[in-house]
Amino acid sequence: MAKIVVITSGKGGVGKTTTAAAMGMGLAMLGHRTVVIDFDVGLRNLDLIMGCERRVVYDFVNVINGEANLNQALIRDKRCDKLYILPASQTRDKNALTKDGVGQVLEDLGRSYEYVICDSPAGIEHGAMMAMYYADDAIVVTNPEVASVRDSDRMLGILSSKSKRAETDAEPIIEHLLLTRYSPERVVRGEMLSVTDVQEILSLKLLGVIPESQAVLNASNAGVPVILDAESDAGRAYQDTVLRFTGKEVPFRFIEAGKRGFLGRLFGG
Amino acid sequence: MSSFADYFRNNEAGNTNRNKTSAVIAKERLQILVAYDRMARDRPSYLPSLKQEILDVIRKYVNVDLASVSVRYEQEGNQEILELNIVLPENAGRVLEAALENN
Ligand SMILES: Nc1ncnc2c1ncn2[C@@H]1O[C@H](COP(=O)(O)OP(=O)(O)OP(=O)(O)O)[C@@H](O)[C@H]1O
Ligand SMILES: [Mg+2]
């Protein structure tokens, strides 16, 4: 059975889709058969971030409604043959995602993939509920900012009470904190919550810290997941994050200001 | 002559926060907020409708609004405590009596 991983946050615009694309690509590059599903019905953009928007024929809702089968709807990534994308519908309303329908698709995918990454829409409405319901793991994407941290905490409450695992008294969802748009310089100046601040408030295991980076916009302009930009700080931070997710011990980079300082030079960072 | 600058300098909130960075303030606010949210989360989900129904009953006699009914829920060990507090308007006593007489 595949591991079902939801990328969630509560608050909008914090970097979920960026993360879903990076995690999907990263896991696939490590050789794992991976599919990324866009749950943002009506506002799909995973296909844009992945650069496959012109190849969308059928979507998630078509599959649920039996208008297309999975193989017709899945788009294979042109850069990595272990990676597939299941796009969201652009037109339907969110209620087209039924609990049974989603469950059936996940079960079918589970037979041939190792990882199913669910890119959640913002908020705590139906679409977000469907994205997290069947999850084994949750990556809670958080910006170091009050509203985002608060919403992440609310999402944690939902994961532990409204998910299938909660409802059936199974092992709880494994929750990971991914801090994105982090700016060490601003933390040093006392203008931004630090990694430890956020971790203390949410008491979550830290999976990764992605710096605020120009590379993210460049990558989305080009339709290339930022993890493929190995020269960039954000790209490398996502690579570390994927490795950690697969159980490797990787030291945290990009969480201290002034990489070119004494320590930075000493360690060649 | 006092100016905006004086006001902010003398303002109490301004004083207590003067030496704190905005990140420290953010953290303190979040710790309180999150603790409060978590408490609210652990409450039984029927509390809001219980509150509304109690309000409806009281309103048959006295005109109070939602804000004057407070419901506190606490868990101590295996004991659950539900505390209801209803603040009646000043002339409520008379109104209530009149209402009861008319019924
Ligand atoms: N590490 C980063 N550095 C700079 N910009 C970033 C970073 N991560 C995300 N962004 C930018 O933030 C915006 C929102 O990102 P993204 O679409 O991934 O968020 P989202 O959580 O999926 O949003 P939504 O809730 O609308 O689905 C985009 O413009 C993206 O380029
Ligand atoms: Mg998104």
Reported as a pLDDT band with limits 50, 70 and 90, residue B37 is confident
Task: Point out the residue among B23, B34, B41 whose CB comes nearest to the CB of A187.
Answer: B23
Reported as a pLDDT band with limits 50, 70 and 90, residue A178 is very high
pLDDT of residue B49: 85
Q: Does A196 touch chain B (CB under 8 A)?
A: no
> B45-103 maps to which CATH number?
3.30.1070
User: Which of chain B's residues have a Cβ under 8 Å away from the Cβ of A187?
Assistant: 23
Reported as a pLDDT band with limits 50, 70 and 90, residue A210 is very high
How remote is the CA of residue A180 from the centroid of ligand 1, in Å?
A: 9
**B19-27 own/partner pairs: CB under 8 Å, 24+ apart:** B21/A189, B21/A190, B21/A191, B22/A190, B22/A191, B23/A187, B23/A190, B23/A191, B23/A192, B23/A193, B23/A194, B23/A197, B24/A190, B26/A145, B26/A146, B26/A193, B26/A197, B27/A193, B27/A197, B27/A200, B27/A201
Ligand nearest to the CA of A254: 1
What is the pTM (predicted TM-score) of this model? 0.83
Task: Point out the residue among A154, A193, A200 whose CB comes nearest to the CB of B37.
Answer: A154
Are B30 and A201 an interchain contact pair (Cβ–Cβ within 8 Å)? Answer: yes
Q: Give residue-wise pLDDT tens across range A72-121.
A: 999 999 999 999 999 998 877 778 899 999 999 999 999 999 999 999 99
pLDDT of residue B103: 62
Say what the ipTM of the complex is.
0.82
Are A192 and B41 an interchain contact pair (Cβ–Cβ within 8 Å)? Answer: no
How remote is the CA of residue A13 from the centroid of ligand 1, in Å?
A: 5
Percent of chain B beyond pLDDT 90? 14
pLDDT of residue B71: 80
Query: Which residue ranges form the domains of chain A, and what is each CATH number?
Result: 3-246 (3.40.50.300)
B5: distance to nearest CA of chain A, Å? Answer: 22
